[in-house]
Structure 1
Amino acid sequence: MASGNAIRGVRIGSGPMRPVERGEPAPRRSVTYWCADGHANPILLAADAPPPATWDCPRCGQPGGLDAANPPDPARPEPYKSHLAYVKERRSEADGAAILAEALAALRRRRGED
């Protein structure tokens, strides 16, 4: 049985229920992106905003482009890299040797060997 509460299910301070009372929406336009699988993805953008070159397809996750005849190629997944591989990209062998020598010297000082 209904409790007779007229505002049931509406939070206090909520906005108007009808779109007419909310005000005028910002001008916008529809831009369609196409992925390599042929999915068409219409996106609403602000009328004065330039569209991005690519947009990820929500269905398959591949990048989509503005040209339906020439969609962008699917992204290649990068192979797994270990932590050591990332460190070797940032540091040279000489940097690694200098850091190791500094750490060993600090360890020997703490132990009282030096």
Structure 2
Amino acid sequence: MAGGNAIRGSRVGAGPMGEAERGDSAPRLHVSYFCASGHVTRPAFSMDAQIPESWDCPRCGLPANTDADNPPPPPKIVPYKTHLAYVKERRSDAEAAQILAEAVSALRARRAAGEIIY
């Protein structure tokens, strides 16, 4: 035996930790949650805790509820809109053409006056 140290790799207080040393665990309730992708999640709750109606699926992130036959639908994904998309919602094509014509005429007037425009 090399070194003869019987407690190598352990620390003070280390040892088997069982129910006798820790005490009894609190009674738990396992609740099944079902998502639209067909995943089942079973988190454990304390018996006296308030059980939430919905739970996020840890696999796909969709919302889940306790009704296996009617899981909640996936949330609607709103696509990203650019600034131009918001402008097109506010302005008609005729208004856009008028604003562009005004901007071009103002730019041409500044150039005609000799102003340097970058």
1:58 alignment partner, SS class: coil
Q: How many angstroms apart in 2 are the aligned matches of 1:59 and 1:19?
A: 32
Provide the alpha-carbon RMSD of the alignment.
2.6
User: Which one-letter code corresponds to 1:37 in the other structure?
Assistant: S
Partner of 1:38: 38
Alignment CA distance shift 1:54-1:2 (3 Å): farther
1:55 alignment partner, SS class: strand
1:19 to partner: Cα distance: 3.4
Q: Which runs of 5+ in 2 are unaligned?
A: 83-118
Partner of 2:65: 65
Partner of 1:22: 22
Q: Which runs of 5+ in 1 are unaligned?
A: 83-114
Alignment CA distance shift 1:43-1:3 (3 Å): farther
- Percent identity between the aligned chains? 55
User: Which one-letter code corresponds to 2:31 in the other structure?
Assistant: V
1:64 to partner: Cα distance: 0.6
1:1-114 to 2 correspondences below 5 Å? 3-13=3-13, 16-80=16-80
1:21 alignment partner, SS class: helix
On the 8 A contact 1:16/1:22 being kept in 2, the answer is no
Alignment CA distance shift 1:59-1:3 (3 Å): farther
- Give the aligned length: 82
TM-score for both structures, normalised by structure 2: 0.56
2:32 alignment partner, SS class: strand
Alignment CA distance shift 1:28-1:2 (3 Å): farther
User: Which one-letter code corresponds to 1:21 in the other structure?
Assistant: E
Deviations 1:45-92 (A, max 9, x none): 00011211111111111111010111111123444479xxxxxxxxxx
